[in-house]
Chains A and B, each alone.
Chain A
Amino acid sequence: GIQVEQSPPDLILQEGANSTLRCNFSDSVNNLQWFHQNPWGQLINLFYIPSGTKQNGRLSATTVATERYSLLYISSSQTTDSGVYFCAVERGDYKLSFGAGTTVTVRA
């Protein structure tokens, strides 16, 4: 199956700092999403981004499908940004393959 690698596994930030999370995948995909898992376990959809660049407030994402990676940018981080960020990809078989996640801790 397709391999999804996320880096770094853990990230500690001071409030106000910027950061970049990376997702590498081993094969071509037709779907890529970034999720934020809150402390109660719910996966919040951040971006549906199989290619290109999108922005939503302080978050933005870029996927370079031909080079098989995606980046999630967090700017001016806030304590509410803490949690686990997952990258998930799909190859058209209607099942998402998830990375192991990046645990982000933002300190006040």
Chain B
Amino acid sequence: EAGVTQSPTHLIKTRGQQATLRCSPISGHTSVYWYQQALGLGLQFLLWYDEGEERNRGNFPPRFSGRQFPNYSSELNVNALELEDSALYLCASSLNGGYTFGSGTRLTVV
């Protein structure tokens, strides 16, 4: 069974640009969760998508957004990038309580 897959592995963007990160959940999982791991801030909940709808979001500004497609894969978009958006972005899916994470996308804003 394929796990949670994320792409790209690394992404380098310039301040002010937009970044798009992608995630595919485990087959059969309908929910996708996004987390940010920034240096010194730990792992923080970003967004939860289920059945194509945004169900919950963490304490992040609106320039962090995303969507979930009919096949349950998801995109995370970060607009107007700031230097402090540099972080590891992790995606997870869940079934019956336990969360499984992907390998992450390391975003660097220069």
Contact = CB atoms under 8 A, between A and B. Distances in A.
B48 A94 contact: yes
Given A41-B37, A43-B90, A98 B101 contact: no
A45 B101 contact: yes
A98 to B, nearest CB: 4
Contacts, number: 53
Contacts of B106: 41
A98 B104 contact: no
Interface string B27-58: 00001010101000011110010000001101
B101 A35 contact: yes
Nearest to B44: A98
B69 interface: no
- Range for the number of chain A residues in contact with chain B: 20 to 34
Interface in A14-45: 30-31, 33, 35, 40-43, 45
Given A41-B37, A41-B106, A101-B42, A94 B55 contact: yes
A48 B97 CA distance: 8
Nearest to B94: A94
Going nearest first, the 6 A-B pairs with the smallest beta carbon separation are A48-B98, A95-B45, A43-B101, A98-B43, A42-B103, A41-B104
